Structure 1
Amino acid sequence: MTGKDEYYNRSKQEGYRARSAYKLKQLDEAANLFSPGDAVVDLGAAPGGWLQVAAEAVGEGGTVVGVDRQRIRPLDAENVETVRGDMTEEATVERLRDAVDGTGIDVVVSDMAPNMTGEYSVDHARSVHLARQALGVARDLLDPGGDLVVKVFDGPDLADLRSDMEESFEYVRSIRPDASRDSSSELYLVAKGYLTAPVSAGDELTVEITDEGREGDGIARVDDFTVFVPDTEVGEKVAIRIEDVKPRFAFAARQD
């Protein structure tokens, strides 16, 4: 039995709308994307296989909003909402913002793909453009520490896309799920730990130590963002260099 037949038949037997549902299942297994109660945005969601997987993973306490140019038939899941529209149009982006209604999003997933021309360089470039659209949505909606998954066709523009994603996340990895067809050049970039810090590694600044952490490190605040500075005491003003940045805090070394 071919890989294509296996996942197609499984989707029919297990009630998923598309064989692509198993791609998201495998991405979740590899990268630990979903937790109960999460809020998820699914871009390029038709016909709804990824919506089904995400809705199951986040459970009744979570929410999933799917967007696609095509109509998505209603699902038997009360935690799913859909928006019909083109994500390359600002009007659709605004409707998505209204749908999430200020809710902090934990995960953005995108299976968006261009209409295929058969010319590889064109299809690759268009897939990167759509991935950048998803990256823009993630930067707009993700909570600190949130995750992003984008589909892209392999090619020369992939390195620049990955570099841009790495600026906004703790790390980025590429995954090719087993459920992807052998003939496809698609892969998924999985970005973990969205960063919203006002500081970056290598920054040098002067701060006041205002508190002490549980491990005895000094704590400074930069625009309400927590920076841990070892070998300091409350009340000191010290020159520091940012060493490592996490979604909700950073580590620094004193420079004096």
Structure 2
Amino acid sequence: MTEKKSTPNTNRALKTRVKTARKRTLASTLWLERQLNDPYVAQAKRDGYRSRAAYKLLEIDTRYHILKRGQKVIDLGAAPGGWSQVAAAKVGATEGAGKVFGIDLLPVATIPGVDFRQLDFLAPEAPQILTEWLGGPADVVLSDMAANATGHKKTDQLRIIDLVELAADFAVQVLAPGGIFLAKVLQGGTETNLLAMLKRQFAEIRHVKPKASRADSSELYLLAMGFRGRPE
């Protein structure tokens, strides 16, 4: 897929209002209204991206240049595929220059340059399987996964921290020295133990809040660069 250069117009003059339908809850109505008025959702449709999340990765890559031609990339929890689309364009996967593997428990429709597998990354054999598919260690591991929200802030923070810790553990098993790990977390939800582990394994750790993240969202991204490599 050719990388798109268009920028969402975040200054819409008119706002679409959604009436509450008989079988639609208030929460569903508010979500639908937000989607209809989200400039990134509209832009994703025009640019052919599977989700608005594509712009978050594009913005992070513009700032930190984490995706380069010829790299091997693993996208954890890839559905619906927005991040995989961006990665494939950046590494030249459609021209055979790089490789992108997306894994998810859900099926994902085909994307040029991306190889999808229905696989649980927590399975003990998953790191070896992915390394074999890639033909060697990965250069980048991406994770835009989020645990299902309960509505209880502390519980949700603990659940996403646990998920990020598991993704980080997977990443250090499959990354090549110098590799990069990027994962979604929640503001105020990055515990000391997780940061301490990442600082031991990576040369540089950053917290990033892309503009494409909704203003009312507590999400941000944990970027770990310069993987030190696994001990022999």
Query: TM-score normalised by the shorter chain: which range applies?
Result: 0.7 to 0.9
Structure 2 counterpart of 1:89: 123
Q: Deviations over 1:55-89 (max 9, x none)?
A: 000002000000111111111x1x31112133233
Alignment equivalent of 1:44, drawn from 70, 77, 100 = 77
- Contiguous gaps of at least 5 residues in structure 2: 1-11, 16-33
One-letter code of the match for 2:110?
P
The structure where helix makes up a greater share of residues is 2
User: What's the CA shift for 1:13?
Assistant: 0.4
CA distance in 2 between partners of 1:50 and 1:88 (Å): 20
Partner of 2:98: 62
Q: How has the CA–CA distance of structure 1 residues 94 and 123 changed in structure 2, closer, same or farther, with 3 Å as cutoff?
A: farther
Q: 2:24 aligns to what?
A: none
The answer for the alignment partner of 1:244 in structure 2 is: none
Per the alignment, in what secondary structure is the counterpart of residue 46 of structure 2? helix
Quick one: distance in 1 between partners of 2:213 and 2:58? 12
Q: Which has the higher contact order (CA 8 A, sep 6+)?
A: 2
1:67 partner letter: I
Match of 2:182 in 1: 149
Amino acid at match of 1:68: D
Change in 2 beyond 3 A, CA 1:156/1:82: closer
Higher strand share: 1
Corresponding residue SS for 1:191? strand
Question: Post-superposition shift, 1:156?
Answer: 4.8
Q: Which residue of 2 aligns with 1:14?
A: 47
Query: d(CA) in 2 for partners of 1:171 and 1:157?
Result: 16
RMSD over aligned CA atoms reads 2.0
Q: Alpha-carbon deviation of 1:153?
A: 1.3
Taking every aligned residue pair, what percent have the same amino acid on both sides? 38
1:124 alignment counterpart: 157
**TM-score, length-normalised on structure 2?**
0.78
Secondary structure of residue in 2 paired with 1:107? strand
3-state DSSP class of the match of 1:90? coil
TM-score calculated relative to the size of structure 1: 0.71
Structure 1 residue 117: Cα displacement: 0.9
- Helix, strand or coil for the counterpart of 2:38? helix
Instruction: Provide the residue aligned with 1:232 in structure 2.
Output: none
Name the CA shift for 1:64/1:138 in 2 (closer, same or farther; >3 Å). Answer: same
How many residue pairs end up in the alignment?
196
Whether 1:172 and 2:172 are equivalent positions in the alignment is no
1:145-196 Cα offsets, whole Å, 9 max, x none, are 1111011112354333222111101110000111111121111010111002
SS in structure 2 at match of 1:55: helix
> Structure 1 residues 157 and 37 mapped into 2: Cα distance closer, same or farther (>3 Å)?
closer
1:182-216: CA deviation from partner (whole Å, max 9, x where unpaired)? 12111101011100276xxxxxxxxxxxxxxxxxx
Higher CA-based Rg: 1
In 2, the alpha carbon distance for the partners of 1:32 and 1:184 equals: 24
1:162–1:189 Cα contact (<8 Å) kept? no
